Chain A
């Protein structure tokens, strides 16, 4: 059992990176507009299926990894401008309910277009092997996944902290009315912010399709761990989402190794413990979101 510890820990980190990136997208949208995007998983599945169809038509995997999320963003922007935007001024649970409705529609559309069962979507041959890191073997595709996710998270961090637009985004989270009064187009901020979240979800969706499988409900399966991640990391904190995601990933992989029956419940236990010690989550700010 001990010899499985290393690989399993690595698997936990890969899984955790997925949760982190999904949670980051959720947090971005939630922090700025108070919208809990229940359709987040659907955007992941959408990007996954688009990439699948592209690869079937001999588009290189690398291109599909960029283009499919962009398509998802296109759909996302349309949804945000037409359906989510009217709900910003209302109680937040309205947008939660609306996006829940969207996810129901999406699930059925996926079923109609790509069939009710899962489709085989394997990574390209160049990423299919395993790489040896001296002491143990790692599947190349998983190393690739970690690489892409780390780059995406780093790019997001740079964008938010080093560009004027990112600065405005963070300021709008603090006080969007003041930012609007100072002459920033907050509607544009909302749209770009939503797109960023969907783009992250799209990338995660394509990669997850290659690793965890692709079916009409596969994206939603990642949604609940992402919620738990947000709660553990603390709402309002992007750094918390990253740490929370890794913690959840490791918790799941370790319980899978030692107590398989408890693997699904493990993250909830972790969440309960964190909440008992720190009600606002590990890195959550006091005062945000009650």
Chain B
């Protein structure tokens, strides 16, 4: 796709989302669900950077998401004069600090071991939020009063309507930043690490340092998403830090297309809207969600955009980041056993 066509298509998608407050009632979807979709897409992006591009099974991003959530919630509760923007920044800072603490441990391993470490270390924050009832409200969670936007007189962001546009603006900003990162030499190096880390190292690059920076970017993005989520639902609970949440993010990433720029939005769209629709139909929605997991992993491993890319590859016109999905080709032989 030419840059011009890509820009036009992107603009069309953003404009379409700009009309969502009028379009979503037609499909019986609440505006808050649309906000949740955009917020979730940012978290899925953070997983995509680590797993889709760098090839690290990021099954612990719910921890950063939760740190963002509690960072915003606690600063609103315990610090004076915290406005909307500051709450978001506090959330991102909390997640960044969490990333800085965990990175030295996570960096030591790759492959599924990295995934296992991410799950295990991520769970620490769950128990902290769960246990320290005096500060965090424990299992019951804590209410968050949605703050003013900067000035006490500006009530813009307080409404759901206003919040949606804040979420949309931040999503677009995150997407532009994400695209810039993955198309930069830095992002290309991350893809190279996924495809063959030893070779990158033989070329003289310190892969640990690249992964470290990717981890911090990912953590901060997840933190932004978590803080926004807290301000959206005005509530923080330990369940949002649980590893289940990480699994949902990873599934959304697979659904949309691992290693694609827009895959995060597509995946979040399918996951959030799908969950919304199923949960209105049946109380046992978890069965359908689980079955959906199984079916997608078995039958649709490339996701929507990955499949489209694979189709596009047969024609002479191809996406700019054509080979990004090569390492995720489900038909490529992967050695069983040690070959991780």
Interface residues of A (CB under 8 A from B): 30, 32-34, 36, 38, 83, 86-98, 100-109, 111-112, 172-177, 224, 227-228, 230-231, 235, 261, 264-265, 268, 271-272, 275-276, 279, 287-290
Contacts and interface: CB of A to CB of B under 8 A. Distances in A.
Contacts of B328: 91
7 contacts: A34-B112, A89-B330, A97-B250, A100-B247, A104-B287, A106-B290, A173-B338
A91 B340 CA distance: 8
Contact of A272 (B59, B105, B113, B298): B105
Given A96-B57, A175-B337, A261 B286 contact: no
A224 B247 CA distance: 14
B124 interface: yes
A230 B116 CA distance: 9
Given A90-B301, A98-B298, A101-B291, A289 B127 contact: no
Contacts of B251: 97, 101
Nearest to B286: A108
Given A36-B112, A93-B57, A265-B131, 8 more contacts: A89-B333, A101-B292, A101-B294, A103-B290, A231-B117, A264-B131, A275-B117, A290-B113
A265 B57 CA distance: 23
Which applies to chain A's interface (DSSP): helix, strand, loop or mixed?
helix
Interface residues of B, number: 53
Given A93-B112, A102-B290, A290-B111, A264 B57 contact: no
Given A97-B293, A108-B290, A272-B105, A33 B111 contact: no
B128 interface: yes
A42 B141 CA distance: 27
A285 B109 CA distance: 13
A109 B287 contact: yes
B59 A235 contact: no
- Where chain B touches its partner, the secondary structure class is helix
Contacts of A105: 286-287, 290-291, 294
Contacts of B338: 173-175, 287-289
B57 A92 contact: yes
Given A34-B337, A93-B57, A227-B116, A104 B290 contact: yes
A249 B265 CA distance: 43
A93 B111 CA distance: 9
Nearest to A31: B337
Given A33-B336, A87-B297, A100-B293, A235 B254 contact: no
Interface in B314-340: 327-328, 330, 333-340
Contact of B116 (A89, A231, A272): A231
A192 to B, nearest CB: 15
Interface of B: 51, 57, 59, 105, 108-117, 119-121, 123-124, 127-128, 130-132, 243-244, 247, 250-251, 254, 284, 286-287, 289-294, 297-298, 301, 327-328, 330, 333-340
A288 B113 CA distance: 9
Nearest to B251: A97
A103 B5 CA distance: 43
Contacts of B286: 104-105, 107-108
